[in-house]
Structure 1
Amino acid sequence: MLNGPAQVLPYAASRFADKTALVTDDRTMTFAELDAASSRVAGALHSRGVEPGQTVSVYSQNRWEWLVAYHGALKAGAVVNPINVMLTTDEVEYVLRDAHSAAVFVGADQAGKLVEATARIPQQCDVIVFGSTEVPGTVAFRTLLDTPADSVQHQPRLDDTCTIGYTSGTTGHPKGAVQSNRAVIQNFGLTATMHGRTGADIVVTALPAPHVYGNVAINSTWLAGGTVVLMERFDPAAALAWIGEHRATMFEGVPAMYAAMLSHTALDNADLSSLTRSTVGGQTMPEATIERWEERSDAPLIELWGMTELAGLGTTHPLHAQGPRGSIGIPLPGMEVRLADLQDPTRDAADGAAGELLIRGPVVMKSYFGNEAATREVLDKSGWLRTGDVARRDENGFLFIVDRLKDMIITGGYNIYPAEIERVLSAHPDIVMVAVGAVPDETKGELACAYVVRADGSTLTEQEIIDFSAQHLAAYKRPRMVRFVGDLPKTSSGKIMRRKLSHTIATLVQ
């Protein structure tokens, strides 16, 4: 049994040493090469005074160096803090200060700003730069690779802190979810098991490595001896091309990625015949989009659900026992879920009714770092984590996400879930992507507004969309207005940010 993610590469290298583990735009590496490079980074961190238990941050786009730094820091016994690449310098400064980071790995394009930021925080924090560019006040990552491998390998313990993953911070400052070695390695292993990963798998992904979904997609594949083909950023045409070029057996992404690939002209000539399954998470996936991808790829699309506070997945479908489309599946083995009444969370929701999804088990975070008050708000003494997601359960035990509790729209006293409207509108053949948000109304409090990306050449009108929704939705659930946009605001992982719809509309209107 592995005691933490620090042992993933040594374990894989002992079994698959010369097998290709990672393919990027500029480098291909075997398991033995990744293991050796990360051990040298561990030795370099120790030589620079980083002690076991100290925090080391990683802040950049997807690249081979990111993964070597991540595993090197783990091997050194450090607590790894993966930082969302979309955070501003001020936000990164807050995270480095809050997490007490002793070092931060960063791309050359952000290095200068981070040198200034680290000068303002109380602790010493080395800035280590990926790439070949020389930046004053930093350490070049390539020099770490010239350091001898760490002679004293840190021995992780299951209950030791492994990572601090900061939430997106949509309100106030982000919070750092503290995860144990047990939580992270168990998520890797259970994900690999549920999705049937093997050494024969070749996984194409553009999910950001700092995001728990992206991290689990990579490391669960390596745990099984599979190959990861990592895109620096998602591009629909490139993703389709890489699936065919590398004979990928899996693609992993969020709903917006699938929508973009399905609407791209490159789909016509794309070779998806090697795919045996794909995965999707991050947000609810319209069934119409699932059907289109499964029909085009001739392979199942496995839905999943997770969050930063779970070190990755919390529920999914077993590869060979999938439930109904639109479901996020069942809890990972060893995990428990309950649906709490929306008015009284101490009671269970009535059978068949929607309730807040609560989850308990070994992959739940320890706490929010240094924030007892925020921890108590979501994690009770019995270990139940309040997720903020509204869900329902069918008679066979499969779970369905209704929506985020905080995204609910209240119009004239009725509760409207944007995801329900989005699922309906996504079935329209002229709609590429859609997101629904609230706009204030003096009479009804809030109204639902649909932000729609039309297919190329479409002349679809606002009234046609409202009429289409009337065929499938009760009157109070229909969008009351439509705005046509060229794109939708997204996170680094490709999730649509509903709360930014009204703020970004001026720059997105077609």
Structure 2
Amino acid sequence: MKRPGDILPALARRFGAKTALVTRDRILSYVEVDELSDRVAAGLAERGVRPGQPVSLYAQNCWEWVVSYHGALKAGAVVNPVNVMLTAEEVAFVLRDCGAAAVLTSSEQAPRVAELTVDLPQLNGVFAFGGSDADGVVPFDDLLASTGAVPDVDPDPGDACTIGYTSGTTGYPKGAVQSHRAVMWNCAMTATMHGRTADDVVVTALPAPHVYGNVVINSTFLVGGTVVLMERFDPATVLRLIPEHRATLFEGVPAMYAMLLAHPDLAGADLSSLTRCTVGGQTIPVSTVQSWEQRCGAPLIELWGMTEISGIGITHSVHVPGPPGSIGVSLPGVQVRIADLEDVTRTVPAGEPGELMIRGPIVMLGYHGRPEATAEALEPDGWLHTGDIAAMDEDGYVFVVDRRKDMIITGGYNVYPAEIERVVAAHPGVAMVAVGPVPDPVRGELACAYVVRASDSTITEPELIAFAREHLAAYKAPRRVQFVDALPATSTGKIMRRELIKSLDVGITVDTTVDTAIN
């Protein structure tokens, strides 16, 4: 198998009627997923989609999404997975920017998508999962009714496979173009590092359009395992599905594990079938890792990845657990290094923080139609700027400090939100925490901790600040604490730090004492 589009035909021949995918309303075998994706491929070709053209997928997790992903690849199309949390304006931009030849979406979103795309000359149709009566929308069942032949396509492994758009902190998002080789390499090496086998049953609520969610699904398919795909994350449902399906893996982001640990159903849940779990998307407090491992009895494997590398780039081998707090080592065949923040050509010594750089077959081809942005992200020798601040120990284990753009500068000192979050999260009265900057006329910025209290907790702001100061230098400790009911998150559960300040009470008193360390 050289391409992701080769996975289902090969696995259907090998595993036949074995269950491949379980969703809320349908269970599909490998043969069924393969046959359904064949029909999608034939249907897209009949409606004018040609090899190399983008096909956009815009919907919540469902069996139709998975079938459409593989059907588009079999048609020779380039898959454009679209985040379901994008606004209508953002979706319109993505569809125009990539030049979508078809859009497959939910029945709820289909009418709006049809309006947004009415003037796209290259568009061959908007197809609705579940059907729709809206003008310009074709029921998905019409694609499945196709009796034509699957297009005879044979793309080069180095050709474009997907265009995944970044969230875009300023301006519009950028489309990272991934090759077939990159996606396939990522899935294969992830399966290897995590020891996936045909006996695995994976429960996941990670969004299929996200690179982490995609790798979870397809690396499991690659070995003949079973994916139990939730439409969206719900802790009570996770705690029910794991024992119901005797799941061997659960995969999620830090916020999911924090919510599971805080849920009242956890005490009575049977998690004995789990043999390992994975966590990525953001840094996770060591205390959360330890609490989950103690409760379920299985290792929680940290990982790191990004859209620009088609998924995961660094993780632990299931058989070689690394030091606590580390995200692991590079995937086989992939290089990582820590570059000086001022001189990218200089690799810093072990233990010194710098920018995490990555190079290898999983790195994107570039940003679609954005040569200047590509040149900024990719060095001439192939090293990709990740934007993460990290350090590497002498054994090659990587420790992420924080996102470079999330760094708080207070009184001339660099403060990393993730470091504060790890400390505050260790307090028993805290269920979830995220840290963001607030402006200060004296120091420029101060760190504010936004905290979701644990059940029955009465922890106060002064108590949490005092707790943090026991474990952090004075200039690093948060100066404000805002208690909230929930934290703003992306579709993957990743905390959106830039949205935190919207929930800030302006009446909270700021600690105005000046530390000698930053005076």
Q: Given the two structures, how large is their TM-score scaled by the length of structure 2?
A: 0.96
**Alignment partner, residue 167 of structure 1:** 166
**Alignment partner, residue 390 of structure 1:** 389
| Matched ranges for 1:307-386 at <5 A | 307-386=306-385
**Could you give the per-residue CA deviations for residues 360-397 of structure 1, whole angstroms, max 9, x where no partner exists?**
00000000000000001110110000000000111221
Query: Is 1:262–2:258 an aligned residue pair?
Result: no
**Alignment partner, residue 243 of structure 2:** 244
**Alignment partner, residue 145 of structure 1:** 144
Please report how far the alpha carbon of residue 346 of structure 1 lies from its aligned counterpart in structure 2 after TM superposition.
Answer: 2.3
Please report how far the alpha carbon of residue 157 of structure 1 lies from its aligned counterpart in structure 2 after TM superposition.
Answer: 1.7
**Alignment partner, residue 297 of structure 1:** 296
Mean CA deviation greater in 356-365 or 130-139: 130-139
Mean CA deviation greater in 10-19 or 153-162: 153-162
| Matched ranges for 1:181-330 at <5 A | 181-330=180-329
What is the rounded CA distance, in whole Å, between the counterparts of 2:148 and 2:422 in structure 1? 52
Please report how far the alpha carbon of residue 100 of structure 1 lies from its aligned counterpart in structure 2 after TM superposition.
Answer: 0.4
Amino acid aligned to 1:421: I
Amino acid aligned to 1:281: G
Q: For residues 90 and 504 of structure 1, do their structure 2 counterparts lie closer, same or farther at Cα, with a shift above 3 Å needed?
A: farther
Please report how far the alpha carbon of residue 149 of structure 1 lies from its aligned counterpart in structure 2 after TM superposition.
Answer: 5.1
**Could you give the per-residue CA deviations for residues 72-127 of structure 1, whole angstroms, max 9, x where no partner exists?**
00000000000001001110100000000000001111111111100143433411
What is the rounded CA distance, in whole Å, between the counterparts of 2:290 and 2:275 in structure 1? 15
What is the rounded CA distance, in whole Å, between the counterparts of 1:474 and 1:125 in structure 2? 59
Please say if residues 339 and 354 of structure 1, whose CA atoms lie closer than 8 Å, have aligned partners that are also in contact.
yes
Please say if residues 39 and 149 of structure 1, whose CA atoms lie closer than 8 Å, have aligned partners that are also in contact.
no
**Could you give the per-residue CA deviations for residues 434-489 of structure 1, whole angstroms, max 9, x where no partner exists?**
00000000100000000000012211100000010011000000000000000000
Please report how far the alpha carbon of residue 505 of structure 1 lies from its aligned counterpart in structure 2 after TM superposition.
Answer: 4.4
Q: Give the gaps of 5 or more residues in structure 2.
A: 509-519
State the SS of the aligned residue for 1:475: coil
Q: Give the gaps of 5 or more residues in structure 1.
A: none
What is the rounded CA distance, in whole Å, between the counterparts of 2:182 and 2:148 in structure 1? 27
**Alignment partner, residue 402 of structure 2:** 403
What is the rounded CA distance, in whole Å, between the counterparts of 1:350 and 1:397 in structure 2? 12
Q: For residues 427 and 155 of structure 1, do their structure 2 counterparts lie closer, same or farther at Cα, with a shift above 3 Å needed?
A: same
What is the rounded CA distance, in whole Å, between the counterparts of 1:204 and 1:457 in structure 2? 30
State the SS of the aligned residue for 2:224: coil
State the SS of the aligned residue for 1:471: helix
Please say if residues 99 and 122 of structure 2, whose CA atoms lie closer than 8 Å, have aligned partners that are also in contact.
yes
**Could you give the per-residue CA deviations for residues 12-36 of structure 1, whole angstroms, max 9, x where no partner exists?**
1111011000000000000000000
**Could you give the per-residue CA deviations for residues 109-163 of structure 1, whole angstroms, max 9, x where no partner exists?**
1111111100143433411100144332101001111112534432232111100
**Alignment partner, residue 157 of structure 2:** 158
What is the rounded CA distance, in whole Å, between the counterparts of 1:425 and 1:183 in structure 2? 38
Amino acid aligned to 1:480: R
Amino acid aligned to 1:216: V
**Alignment partner, residue 441 of structure 1:** 440
Please say if residues 74 and 150 of structure 2, whose CA atoms lie closer than 8 Å, have aligned partners that are also in contact.
no
What is the rounded CA distance, in whole Å, between the counterparts of 1:272 and 1:196 in structure 2? 19
What is the rounded CA distance, in whole Å, between the counterparts of 1:505 and 1:466 in structure 2? 17
Amino acid aligned to 2:491: S
What is the rounded CA distance, in whole Å, between the counterparts of 1:418 and 1:312 in structure 2? 24
**Could you give the per-residue CA deviations for residues 333-372 of structure 1, whole angstroms, max 9, x where no partner exists?**
0111111111222212233110100000000000000000
State the SS of the aligned residue for 2:69: helix
Please say if residues 97 and 122 of structure 1, whose CA atoms lie closer than 8 Å, have aligned partners that are also in contact.
no
**Could you give the per-residue CA deviations for residues 385-425 of structure 1, whole angstroms, max 9, x where no partner exists?**
00000001112211000000000000000000000000000
Please report how far the alpha carbon of residue 322 of structure 1 lies from its aligned counterpart in structure 2 after TM superposition.
Answer: 1.4
What is the rounded CA distance, in whole Å, between the counterparts of 1:492 and 1:151 in structure 2? 33
What is the rounded CA distance, in whole Å, between the counterparts of 1:232 and 1:469 in structure 2? 37
Question: Cα RMSD between the aligned structures?
Answer: 1.3
Please say if residues 191 and 220 of structure 1, whose CA atoms lie closer than 8 Å, have aligned partners that are also in contact.
yes
State the SS of the aligned residue for 1:296: helix
What is the rounded CA distance, in whole Å, between the counterparts of 1:272 and 1:209 in structure 2? 24
Q: For residues 151 and 282 of structure 1, do their structure 2 counterparts lie closer, same or farther at Cα, with a shift above 3 Å needed?
A: closer
Q: What's the % identity of the aligned pairs? A: 62
Mean CA deviation greater in 89-98 or 152-161: 152-161
Q: Given the two structures, how large is their TM-score scaled by the length of structure 1?
A: 0.98
What is the rounded CA distance, in whole Å, between the counterparts of 2:209 and 2:322 in structure 1? 29
What is the rounded CA distance, in whole Å, between the counterparts of 1:472 and 1:125 in structure 2? 59
| Matched ranges for 1:475-490 at <5 A | 475-490=474-489
What is the rounded CA distance, in whole Å, between the counterparts of 1:59 and 1:211 in structure 2? 11
**Alignment partner, residue 24 of structure 1:** 23
